[in-house]
A = this chain, B = another copy of it.
Amino acid sequence: MQISAYAKDCPSRQILDRIGDTWSVLIVVMLADGPHRYTELARRIQGVSPKMLTQTLRGLERDGLIERTVYAVVPPRVDYALTELGRSLHGLVEALEKWAEAHIDEVLAARQAYSAK
């Protein structure tokens, strides 16, 4: 076997990059219970800067995971919502959470044992 981190065209790599991205995951989780406005996301996702929020939202939109709806009102209002695909990804994230919760104790125990060495 021979594998490469540079196989950017590999489906797994692309999804991994998404999943590995802190803000992407948090946004998907936030949107899982319904659409939210920009400011709402900014306020409820602790620690995110406007720059990263926008940048991440664009990336998710580009990949068809969220949908951006602009209302022609003053002041402006923009809603973000998960698409079908986005909800599917959220399912994957949930599977991940389940694994994490099921095995975090073993990981923590391993770390204890490791530093004891």
Residues of A within 8 A of B (CB): 1-6, 11-12, 14-17, 19-23, 25-26, 29-30, 33, 44-48, 61-65, 85, 88-89, 92, 95-97, 99-101, 103-104, 106-107, 109-111, 113-114
Residue of B nearest to A60 (CB): B110
The A interface, classified by DSSP as helix, strand, loop or mixed, is: helix
A117 to chain B, nearest CB (A): 10
Residue of B nearest to A99 (CB): B92
Q: A11-B104, A15-B104, A107-B63 are in contact. Are A3 and B96 (CB under 8 A)?
A: no
Task: Report the separation of the CA atoms of residues A110 and B84 in the bound assembly, to the nearest whole angstrom.
Answer: 12
Complex contacts, A64 vs chain B, CB 8 Å? 106-107, 109-111, 113-114
